[in-house]
Structure 1
Amino acid sequence: MGAGHDTVAAELARRLREHGHRTAVVDVLRLLPYGLGGGLRAFYQASVRHFPWAYGGLYQVFLRRGTGRRPSGVPLARLAAGRLTRLADRTGADLVVPVFHLAAQLTGHLRSRGLLRVPSAVFLIDFSVHRQWLHPGNDRYLCLTDEAARAVREDIATPAETAGPVVAPAFSAPAPGAEQWSRRFALHGPGRPPVLLSAGAWGAGSRLAATAALLAGRGFLPVVLCGRNDRLRGRLPQTPGVLTLGWVADMPGLMHAARALVDNAAGQTAVQALAAGLPVVGYRPLPGHGADGVRRMAALGLSDLAADESGLLGALERLTAPGPDRERRVRHGRALFRDDLMARMAQLLDAAGPCPSPPSTGTAPGAVGGDGRDTSRGAAS
């Protein structure tokens, strides 16, 4: 769904390979038969883009914590059960790491019935825990914050700990591309502090054109990130003082050249901004888990939450200017990246014990576990 889950999975796989392991990144929606995965993705994408209120209503009734019996994704997830267990056996995996809530339902179901023989460690990548992430059959949960880990333990009594977010190292290091972005900003809006407006990979957002016009009118350079939504980019006004971008490959450089991020989902873009030292302001969040995540980030002191136009402008004026407010926000955001997730996974791989070598296929996926020296062991995320 979107690009955030893929980005996290890719970075986990990269780190595992760097430690000498083999990896397989698998889209759980592709494991569903009859084209159900593609249909589910299309339905959710249409909901977020065109009628977010409908998803917001479903979320409030069925997914939000504290709303009664937890709904189960198991009936749908069961349809992928055979394909996942065969994949784990074929690759010799000794750890499965779900980074999407349907995958967590699937592995929890399989583990609780003894059908998946290796541990499942869910990497819960949301700031706000919704109940579809939770299944007591999983062996462990690794969470972004102490609060999220506590919520998991309270709801399903499963071991849960704080691991912090996972982003590519380029976001927290000096970015070579920042200078090129700065030159582009100077040409498009000389003297204006560049502010990113994120609409996610799908280009979903509320009143983006109005927000961009508001910022431009107050002396900022709004840089609207339309993701892969070319239609959205074409609809936004191509006026002086507003820069619209499609899919951006160099996000580290872009973030290091900007002064703030206006975010509506508390997803991976917001996490990357924290790593890059870019202050985040939540504004007009998407309904459902997006709104809950934006509020939770602000409650934790990781971002500001603007309730209206005046609040948005005030927050940006404080956070784009050098000074203690900006420094405090940057310091607090970077402090979230505090633990070594690979060390925690290594513990799980060691506890799992050695697995048989997978059949030799030349490009056999999987991730190698334990001490990184036994290349017959694997893990899938």
Structure 2
Amino acid sequence: MTDILETSGKKILILSVSAGAGHARAAEAIRAHAALHDLTSTVVHLDVMDYATAGFRKIYTDFYIKLVNKAPTLWGYLYNFTNEAKRDSSIEQLRRCLERWNAKGLLQAISDFQPDAIICTHFLPAEMLARLIARRELSCPVWVQVTDFDLHRMWVHEGMTGYFAANEEVAFRMRAQGIAAERIHVTGIPIMPAFAQNISREVCAKELGLDPNKLTFMLMGGGAGLGNMEALAAHLLRMKGVCGQRDAEFQLIVLTGKNTQSLHALQHLAKDYPHRLFPCGFTTQVERLMVCADLIITKPGGLTTSECLALGLPMIVNAPIPGQEERNADYVMEQGAALKAVDSLALEFRLRELISHPEKLLAMRAQAQRLGRPYAAQTVFACVIEDLAKTQACPVID
């Protein structure tokens, strides 16, 4: 495998869609692994929305983000409705017509690049390319990477060379949808190379000013179900009476991302909790925060969930988006790597239980480590390159 990767010299195109961050993060993970393990290939990642009209982009990305944040129940209905809709229904025909209208720029970019293979981390480009394959207007292999622990029908299309599944259940669902077993590869969901490294908790804790030997929780992403991060952090830090102690003496890392208002509020709150509250803003090295934590409180996106599992980090999931995130949450909870909190009181109860019974937290960590697939991106890329090598090795018979 290594020899093939070091000398492949191929042109690989990765297509994502910026509807949420996960699809692009998976694409970037594959590209980053290729840069580390392939010395000669050219790997390019394109966002399909960069080639769509402004109106289509606003509907497809902005509307999606507003919907999942403001009306998650409606999104859940649409998720299930489109999963069950017949391919020849009028609404499906209208959707495909709109997509075709907005595909011209992307198709020109593909023609200009002339890829040897294409990897799609979103169903939209896969659907567009399936039509080209059916009309014999595209001859290079197209692969599909599903980025959740569930399979929606819109991921499944004729003519795809192969599919990459997060786990065996997703692969089972793929076979039930008519995808041939030999085209399915259970790889996990691609995450960045840093999550496969042996990162020192002691070193990272020192960078943050944390005590590496103290129980540490991490809060990321907030969520409507638990309220804003400042209020939630204050609620948790006021916890008392755990195991007969006057206070629950844990450290709390809070990642606010690009929300500077929340960061400033938490920095002010941290003055009341010295050496216990550690607010952090946007970072490209989230793995260095995660490795300091014994448990993370987060929304269960496919990429975030995969990153946590790769580090053996147990989760308390909150406010999952109905549809794909609910399925992600179901998976990690069924496997014993996560718990769920529907509000701040539920979260406090879960934390009290884990503090009182540390063996439960250790069992959750063991399950997370068992499920983790830190090398998914490398496996995906290697599979695509090896398939190209096999194709070239076989003579074409007219």
Deviation at residue 59 of structure 1 after TM alignment: 1.9
Deviation at residue 298 of structure 1 after TM alignment: 2.1
The answer for the alignment partner of 1:10 in structure 2 is: 28
Any stretches of 5+ residues in structure 1 without a counterpart? 355-369, 371-381
Deviation at residue 85 of structure 1 after TM alignment: 3.0
Within the alignment, does 1:23 sit opposite 2:32 as a pair?
A: no
Counterpart AA for 1:196? M
The answer for the alignment partner of 1:362 in structure 2 is: none
Counterpart AA for 1:135? H
The answer for the alignment partner of 1:194 in structure 2 is: 216
Counterpart AA for 1:329? Q
Closer/same/farther in 2, CA of residues 341 and 318 from structure 1, 3 Å limit: farther
Deviation at residue 61 of structure 1 after TM alignment: 2.7
Contact kept? 1:107, 1:116, Cα under 8 Å: yes
The answer for the alignment partner of 2:238 in structure 1 is: 217
Closer/same/farther in 2, CA of residues 254 and 34 from structure 1, 3 Å limit: closer
The answer for the alignment partner of 1:272 in structure 2 is: 307
The answer for the alignment partner of 1:127 in structure 2 is: 149
The answer for the alignment partner of 2:198 in structure 1 is: 174
Counterpart AA for 1:332? R
Deviations 1:47-105 (A, max 9, x none): 23333233223223333xxx353574533331343333332232220111100122222
Matches within 5 A, 1:1-381: 1-17=19-35, 18-19=37-38, 20-63=40-83, 67-69=84-86, 72=92, 74-158=96-180, 159-175=183-199, 179-182=203-206, 184=208, 186=210, 193-199=215-221, 204-206=223-225, 207-209=227-229, 211-218=232-239, 219=248, 220-233=250-263, 238-239=268-269, 240-241=272-273, 242-306=277-341, 308-309=346-347, 312-313=350-351, 316-317=354-355, 324-334=362-372, 340-353=379-392
SS in 2 for 1:57: helix
Closer/same/farther in 2, CA of residues 13 and 118 from structure 1, 3 Å limit: same
Q: Structure 1 or 2: larger helix share?
A: 2
Closer/same/farther in 2, CA of residues 344 and 82 from structure 1, 3 Å limit: same
Closer/same/farther in 2, CA of residues 61 and 244 from structure 1, 3 Å limit: farther
Closer/same/farther in 2, CA of residues 262 and 245 from structure 1, 3 Å limit: same
SS in 2 for 1:277: coil
Contact kept? 1:197, 1:224, Cα under 8 Å: yes
- d(CA) in 2 for partners of 1:321, 1:215: 21
Contact kept? 1:281, 1:304, Cα under 8 Å: yes
- Normalising by the residue count of structure 1, what TM-score does the alignment of the two structures yield? 0.78
Any stretches of 5+ residues in structure 2 without a counterpart? 1-18, 240-247
Closer/same/farther in 2, CA of residues 113 and 317 from structure 1, 3 Å limit: farther
SS in 2 for 1:328: helix
Counterpart AA for 2:253? V
Deviation at residue 178 of structure 1 after TM alignment: 5.8
SS in 1 for 2:120: coil
- Normalising by the residue count of structure 2, what TM-score does the alignment of the two structures yield? 0.75
Deviation at residue 270 of structure 1 after TM alignment: 2.0
- d(CA) in 2 for partners of 1:60, 1:232: 34
Higher relative contact order (CA closer than 8 Å, sequence separation 6+) = 1
Contact kept? 1:48, 1:204, Cα under 8 Å: no
SS in 1 for 2:217: strand
Deviations 1:130-187 (A, max 9, x none): 2222223322211111111111121243532211232223223233686344453538
Counterpart AA for 1:2? G
Q: How many aligned residue pairs are there?
A: 347
- d(CA) in 1 for partners of 2:353, 2:288: 23
SS in 2 for 1:126: coil
- d(CA) in 1 for partners of 2:108, 2:202: 45
Closer/same/farther in 2, CA of residues 34 and 181 from structure 1, 3 Å limit: same
- d(CA) in 2 for partners of 1:258, 1:131: 36
- d(CA) in 1 for partners of 2:259, 2:308: 21
- d(CA) in 1 for partners of 2:389, 2:104: 26
Contact kept? 2:301, 2:325, Cα under 8 Å: yes
- d(CA) in 2 for partners of 1:169, 1:15: 6
Counterpart AA for 1:11? A
Deviation at residue 320 of structure 1 after TM alignment: 6.5
- d(CA) in 2 for partners of 1:319, 1:170: 31
* RMSD of aligned residue pairs (Cα, Å): 3.3
- d(CA) in 2 for partners of 1:315, 1:122: 41
SS in 1 for 2:100: helix
Contact kept? 2:146, 2:189, Cα under 8 Å: no
SS in 2 for 1:138: coil
Larger Rg, first or second structure (1 or 2): 2
Deviation at residue 113 of structure 1 after TM alignment: 2.7
Contact kept? 1:150, 1:160, Cα under 8 Å: no
